[in-house]
Amino acid sequence: MPRFTHVHDLVAPEPPDVCELAAFPVAVVPYALAALEHRIPKYIWDSASYVRGVQLIRSLQMAILCGGMVDLIESNDRIYRMLDTALYGTDYSVISTDPLVVEPAIEATHALTIEHPDSLLGRAEDLRQLLQNGLNGTATTLYDRELGIRDLLELIKAAVEASDTLDPDMLAKLAEIALLLG
């Protein structure tokens, strides 16, 4: 195998520096740090490039030591779980902190299933059923009043029409309310 020979009189590229995000196995960090250290000595750089060239090398050493991808991915997962809990009511539990294990695991897709009535979708469903039952008297899972507001208004209107004390204004208003309710 040919021996790798470092280039001398290196000229550092001019700014701007384009940056990329990379995932890497942390186990390789010690080897990468040491390998990059071979590019630090002054004599391998063109004298005008020395400071900038070394800063480029140091910035990469710093980047692989500071990492951040795990934090970034975990922050994405945290946002997903927050939305999942808020929207669907999914209840997550931290099983361990090192490494962080949270259950249930995040799946590739999410079924349209309300997991808790206090979630946003759960409350929206509650409102939908309340309106259906309240307005029309439709029996739902949560509400089962026999008569809805429309039915009650019709009964009131009929009762008023049947009475001796007919009030045209009151009848007109009841008819108007019934019309507004659809």
Chain residues binding another protein by CB under 8 A are 26-27, 29-31, 33-34, 37, 40, 42, 50-51, 55, 58-59, 61-62, 65-67, 70, 98-99
The residue (of 37 and 91) whose beta carbon lies closer to another protein is 37
Rounded CA gap, 118 and 17, in Å?
Answer: 49
- Provide, rounded to whole angstroms, the least separation between the CB of residue 20 and another protein: 19
SS3 content of the chain, % helix, strand, coil (to 5): 55, 5, 40
Backbone angles phi, psi at 179, to 5 degrees: -65, -40
* Cβ–Cβ < 8 Å for 106, 133: no
CB of 6 to another protein, least distance (A): 17
Closest approach of Cβ 126 to another protein, in Å? 43
> Whole-number minimum distance, CB 81 to another protein, in Å?
20
Nearer to another protein, 26 or 139 (CB): 26
- Closer residue to another protein (CB): 50 or 143: 50
- Count of positions (residues) in the chain: 182
| 47 vs 109 by CB, closer to another protein | 47
Q: What is the DSSP string of 131-174?
A: HIIIII----SS---SS-HHHHHHHHHHHHHHSSS--HHHHHHH
